Structure 1
Amino acid sequence: MASLSWSDLPPELLGLVLKCLPSLADRVRLRAVCHPWRTNARQQPMPLLTLPDGAFLSIPDGEIIRVPVPDDARCYGSVDNWLLLMQNDGGCSLVNPFSKAIVELPMLSTVWFSDSSNATSGLNPILYKPVVLSPLDSSPDSLVAVLILDDGYCSTVCICQPPIAADVSSSRARWPLQVFDDVAFFNGKLHGLGSSNKLFVFDIEYDLSNQPKITSIKCIIDYGDGLRDLPQSSDCHGQARLYLKHRRTVAFDVFEAGLSSNTSRWRKVNNLGGQVLCVGRHCSKSFPAVEYNGIEGDCIYFMCDYYPNADPLRDSGIYSMRTGMITPLLSGALLSETVAVPQHHGGQWCPTWIFPADSM
């Protein structure tokens, strides 16, 4: 009988091995063994969590991964497998830390101050959240929107056709009674979640020079109807879903925007249809659990990103909508070994999710 090699391991057995290796580093090592293993090990790796010192935390094994980025760069958010980085000179870019690809953006702080109402306010931007119309890996010229919140709790939405800032709209000037807490592209349109749980859609048109402009906004859900606190939005399997996060997280309520009927309203849901939500102020993303190893469907991954200088694992976990239980992102032993957060805010990275591509 001819001897068998490890490269002949049946794909179904390799799949069982992968289910025991949700760690990105371990999956990369396994796929490096031989070409057949690399070809067959195609399920997505687990999301990573950025730490204040610029490292990535692998979940659930707790391994610290360091990927080179510019020394003076600071992370202010993320979208998919791209980081929103700003440098000391104000330069902004979306950077894929794994492929090293870069999409240049306008200087967002300069763009913010270019709005006269912002420039004279005496305030400063403190939070950024980027969203893209199309995945940057396949569409590097995709329309990019960035929500900017300032320390006076007003919002500015910047529309970028990289690397140019095509339009900027400040709530202080155009919608003084409305603050946007979150934005997301859904069905090809930019939506904004406003105060009092109102949902808006932005009308974006292209001018004669082919630059996108925000021409108007329309409120499509005018009341919260049972919502409480300030939810954040995420695109989830073709429907907009919202999550609620409290300072001491004990449970989540999930609502979807019912937009197909004549009367649009929020509807509470009891499951995510097998999807998973990773939620945060700087990045939210939903995905099918079946595409990832080691992830159960109808779960919400969360971390602490609402206090400056906070340890992102201070209030973190995995909430199951099936059981109503919260389990740790890491094992109990690993939680006690969390990387210490620097004492000074300057130079820190904001905690956010990043989703490595399966090609790693």
Structure 2
Amino acid sequence: MSFYGAVLSASPDLGSKYIVAASSNHKEHETLALWQPGMMSWHVCSGVDIDGPKDLTFFQGKLYVLMRYTPHLFAFELEEDDRGFMVSRVQCCLTELLHEHSFQAGGALNMVVWRGELLLIVRHYDDNYRREHNVLKVEVFALDMSTNPYGLTEIHSLNGDCVFVCTGGCKSFPASTHEGVEGDLIYFVPDVWKPYDTFVYSMRDGRMRPFAANLLPCDFDVPEKNLDFPVWLFPSE
């Protein structure tokens, strides 16, 4: 098994029996795998159609799994006891609703936890997106979990915070706590190890600008075309 991203239900420093959820490549399928300290092997989730690139996050006691290229959002309920944990319920809580907001094939989806809310970040591409990856617009929605399926409310401000979006996951934090980043901006870093979708989006006016990042060649045994992307180390809480 190989992993493309992982999230923890709690910090190991807190002494709790946390759960690790990972997007894994298992037998040529990219699926969901779960693990907990003390387990001898990973538990690979089956029976749910979640094969493909995805975002993962723990939020309000549930594990949320978002498919990146189809408007499907799953909520996993996990129960724990002295023997470990089990998946007690899986709910598909977002499917066709995005079609009301003009989401079509050719878009990309991400999610991020921000100030006690779960946000959905949507990129819309033109008809040539598979070849050019030209982004037409970006939309950000707060998920309303009081309805079934979940509702969407578009937002236009991060209240001075910023968001980083990349293949390994998304992170929001106050821009004022870190030098070099600006508030109300979403920083998109390349996806799938290619320099596509590398831009900065302003929540204030909807403008997009290039990412000012020029990396020098290195001596690693990596094709040159795969060197032209930044690597981000998210700050700890």
TM-score between both structures, scaled by the size of structure 2: 0.74
Unaligned runs of 5+ in 1: 1-108, 110-124
In structure 1, what is the Cα distance between the partners aligned to 2:154 and 2:135?
A: 18
Mean Cα deviation higher: 159-168 or 275-284: 159-168
Match of 1:155 among 25, 30, 40: 30
Which residue number corresponds to residue 43 of structure 2? 168
- CA–CA distance in 2 between the matches of 1:187 and 1:137? 20
Match of 1:206 in 2: 80
* 3-state SS of paired residue (2:22): strand
Choose from 84, 104, 116 the match for 1:238: 116
Structure 1 distance, partners of 2:56, 2:38, is: 20
Which one of 104, 107, 131 corresponds to residue 7 of structure 2? 131
- 3-state SS of paired residue (1:197): coil
Q: How does 1:111-130 map to 2 (within 5 A)?
A: 125=2, 128-130=4-6
Match of 1:179 in 2: 51
Structure 2 unmatched ranges of 5 or more: 126-132
1:317 is displaced (CA, Å) by: 2.8
Residue of structure 2 in register with 1:112 after alignment: none
CA distance in 1, matches of 2:216, 2:179: 25
For residues 205 and 290 of structure 1, the distance between their equivalents in structure 2, rounded to whole angstroms, comes to 38
Q: Does 2:207 match 1:325?
A: yes
Shift of 1:138: 4.8
Instruction: Provide the C-alpha distance between the structure 2 equivalents of 1:248 and 1:340, rounded to a whole number of angstroms.
Output: 26
Q: Which has the higher strand share?
A: 2
Distance 1:165 1:248 in 2: 45
- The separation in 1 between residues aligned to 2:12 and 2:134, in whole angstroms, is 35
Shift of the alpha carbon at 1:328? 4.1
8 Å Cα contact 1:131/1:144 also seen in 2:
yes
In the alignment, which residue of structure 1 is the partner of 2:176?
290
Q: Residue 8 of structure 2 contacts residue 19 of structure 2 at CA under 8 Å; is this kept in 1?
A: yes
Tell me the distance in 2 between the aligned counterparts of 1:326 and 1:174: 40
Alpha-carbon offset, residue 207 of structure 1? 4.9
Distance 2:116 2:41 in 1: 28
Is residue 355 of structure 1 aligned with residue 223 of structure 2? Answer: no
Give the total of aligned pairs: 218
Return the letter of the residue paired with 1:321: M
Give 1 or 2: higher helix fraction: 1
How far apart, in 1, do the equivalents of 2:122 and 2:77 lie? 27
- Counterpart of 1:83 in structure 2 is none
1:261-340 pair list within 5 angstroms: 261=147, 264-307=150-193, 310=194, 312=195, 315-330=197-212, 335=214, 338-340=215-217
SS at match of 1:354: coil
Structure 1 window deviating more from structure 2 (229-238 vs 278-287): it is 229-238
Cα shift readout 1:178-217 (whole Å, capped 9, x = no counterpart): 43622111112111114631222112112552x1222331
Tell me: higher relative CO, structure 1 or 2? Use CA pairs within 8 A at least 6 residues apart. 1
The question of whether the paired residues in 2 share the 8 Å contact of 1:250 and 1:326 is answered with no
CA distance in 1, matches of 2:139, 2:90: 27
Q: Secondary structure at the match of 2:108?
A: coil
CA RMSD of aligned residues (A): 3.3
Residue 128 of structure 2 corresponds to none
Q: Does the 8 Å contact 1:159/1:166 carry over to 2? A: no
**Alpha-carbon distance between aligned partners in 1 of 2:138 and 2:40, rounded to the nearest angstrom:** 36
Is the Cα–Cα contact under 8 Å of residues 56 and 169 in structure 2 kept in the other structure?
no
Contact 1:299–1:321 (CA<8 Å) still a contact in 2?
Answer: yes
The one-letter code of the counterpart of 2:169 is C
Q: 1:189 aligns with which of 62, 66, 74?
A: 62
* Deviation per residue, 1:65-108 (Å, 9 max, x gap): xxxxxxxxxxxxxxxxxxxxxxxxxxxxxxxxxxxxxxxxxxxx
In 1, Cα distance between the equivalents of 2:192 and 2:151?
Answer: 27
Q: Computing the radius of gyration over CA atoms, which structure comes out larger, 1 or 2?
A: 1
Distance 2:47 2:116 in 1: 30
Find the aligned partners of 1:207 and 1:166 in 2 and give their Cα distance.
18
250 and 304 in structure 1: CA distance in 2 versus 1, 3 angstrom threshold? farther
**Partners of 2:81 and 2:15 in 1: CA distance:** 21
